[in-house]
Chains A and B, each alone.
Chain A
């Protein structure tokens, strides 16, 4: 199937190169997948489906103007050429109706980037059997998503990019009868029964702790350890506008004060958009090769994520960011705290496995609120005592990752995106856990 996607994309590119000539220029970005989605509830299959989809976004540029049209493709070469021709005609009709774009910027280099990974995926019948056998009488709920994901890019300047990878992502939770739950994930390209069994066993072990009587905390300030998945929620929230050139320039970035050097994070904090070695395509949908971008170095703001339009408007260098200028593969440097020592260093406080539904109490001050979720425990003298009831925090990033950050774990966790809005996402994050001296709980 994946080879069919590549053939389909190449045929569209060939047609465009025959039919779009200077002074007109084009870019074509492409996305395709053939996915199997299997939802689980109570360790049984609640819903299952097979989705075959591909789409392309054609950008036409002429006379200093540009317009985009995204079209769904059928997979039939002839029909898709016809759809592309209609899209091209619509864009040709549109361009004269709009003014010249002062921020039009194109990458006119002819680059070539190809990555094709065709590792066979696990047989879904076997996967179902493994999951059901592994879960046993556990109350398991979640989703298994698998299949090839493709991204492509081509331009009239001769650029060509292709990224294709087969992958699976099993994202699940185990629920205790008391309503407490632990979250787990097993994702990759090669299914390993032993590795899956280990992950399941780890989750089952935490579930035992969750069966203890619940501890209800009162609002106040607590020492806390944020596991990588919890930190991922904070960093993910900052990613929306935090590092964006346009958001920073238009004063809508939550990291406004960091980038204005009016505030700083802990010297322990360094973050990079780590494209190299990640599972994300090495090129953007705008046709820029992507390379690593150092965003924060030892607590100080460094570079920003800049797409082509922002590069033109704010006179910066485009660095492969998508139009929304958010990290796709953020990597945060680890620290010196051994994971095995986390509970002991925490002493008495909160072990937070996950956070949930973050948003801003005061965006200018980078003040966030959100809730504990999944496997959060009260720890005393380095020992887990009890699961805690859901609590709301409200605190500034300049506190959590600044003045109150005590240590980061040496070990980091690679988390692959489970997002499937519109299509399966290829993003990831690579983060340590964070020990903080003070976390403010409000409700």
Chain B
């Protein structure tokens, strides 16, 4: 681990620059994606990646250059290219960063269970084959797939102020899906995949529930195929954690990104209905809503010690008792806006520069068991497992769809319904939060696929949440 440190440290020390500040962020990663579809092992897809980003500040103007040539000459050339670019754009630059502080921390961060061996490739295939084979023979089950993704990342950051930050992380993404088809309609039920990923080792696969999942997921796909469509109307909505994560992501996470509020993303990812003046003022949700930026749940996907600009990561409330307190803004956005933020300046890899991203964005547990949540609903619907998401560029008007719905009548769970969708407006939706599940309903989830930025970047984000109830929401089904 970290065997690149010494040579990189020496090469960094030998770099020469005319800038007042420069940094090097080295990323080395390996990945493996395995899949078994309908009892046939698909070819393994493996990867090895390594490169570095050099950033330099010249008279308050920053620019970067990325290279996979890690020789002394290669790094120096990249730094020179960055410096030349900084000088080239100086007359056109939006920002003057001469007064922005630079970090000088030295620390290491490791994923939990990083020293435990991960199952061999052959053992992984055995597990996937076993789950695939457990799908029962039924002509209506037309497709199923078990998959396992593994990514190991080492990052080393040096800067000219003396910082040396190292992190070694392992990310695991189990998944299972089954599609059932009746000749006209098809319904897919999944486990994990885009809705689950954690840091760790084999323990992640166990927590996901992949072992022994095949027959259960297949049965649920068949139940959906036989189920009626979700009825249209206004109902109380009980969202389970694997839909809450999407709700948090789209209608709290993105709107609170400070670079969006500052206008950087207006051409692509969009703006925000939240204004800089709303922090400390806006009642974002009901008093039951408590949202944290929390890098301290070790297994959560975006737990880390420092962000990619070198800012130490600590737990912070973004929304407390429904009141908006703090944006998702890293050191640069904080410098630009004068607002306090969090350590969320993140890059997807060595070839992209850090920008404001979500990391771990969680809802704190409340005091109701799942039974109490259901029992408190007279006419409602439970939805679980996101499958469709759409929200406007200001992150306000949304429509989300789930795989699984179950009606609730007079405090009791009733029949399964298919194609459950709901729509609302972020600015009002969270004020309808009427009950929050306790720790027994709390799940640590996350996704590897959050896209944003120009040039585009996709990063891993973590979301942990209890089950939550929202009153009087517009729900509806599909056409089939």
**A residues at B contact (CB < 8 Å):** 35-42, 44-55, 59, 65-76, 83, 87, 90-91, 94, 97-99, 101-103, 124-125, 128, 132, 141-143, 145, 171-173, 175, 179, 181, 183, 250-252, 256, 262, 309, 356-365, 367, 369-371, 373, 390, 392, 394, 396, 419-421, 424, 442-443
Contact = CB atoms under 8 A, between A and B. Distances in A.
B67 A45 contact: no
Contacts of A128: 88-89, 92
Given A171-B267, A251-B179, A370-B390, A125 B88 contact: yes
Contacts of B47: 69-71
Nearest to B395: A357
Interface string B275-302: 0000000000000000000000000000
Contact of A361 (B51, B184, B267, B399): B399
B85 A390 contact: no
B143 A252 contact: yes
A359 B401 contact: yes
A143 B397 contact: no
Contact of A143 (B267, B393, B394, B401): B267
A103 B41 CA distance: 10
Interface of B is mostly: mixed
Nearest to A139: B263
Contacts of B125: 97-99
A250 B142 contact: yes
B212 interface: no
Interface stretch (B68-76, B109-117, B306-314): B68-76
Contacts of B143: 250-252
Given A39-B264, A48-B85, A390-B392, A420 B455 contact: yes
B95 interface: yes
B397 A371 contact: yes
A50 B121 contact: no
Interface residues of B, number: 83
B379 interface: no
Contacts of B67: 52-53
A435 to B, nearest CB: 24
Interface string B65-100: 111111100100010011001101100111100000
Contacts of A309: 42
Interface in B113-146: 120-122, 125, 142-143
B68 A74 contact: yes
A102 B392 contact: no
A178 B213 CA distance: 52
Contact of B44 (A74, A98, A141): A98
A50 B48 contact: no
Contacts of B42: 101, 309
A99 B41 contact: yes
Nearest to B34: A98
Interface string B346-357: 000001110100
B41 A101 contact: yes
Contacts of A101: 40-43
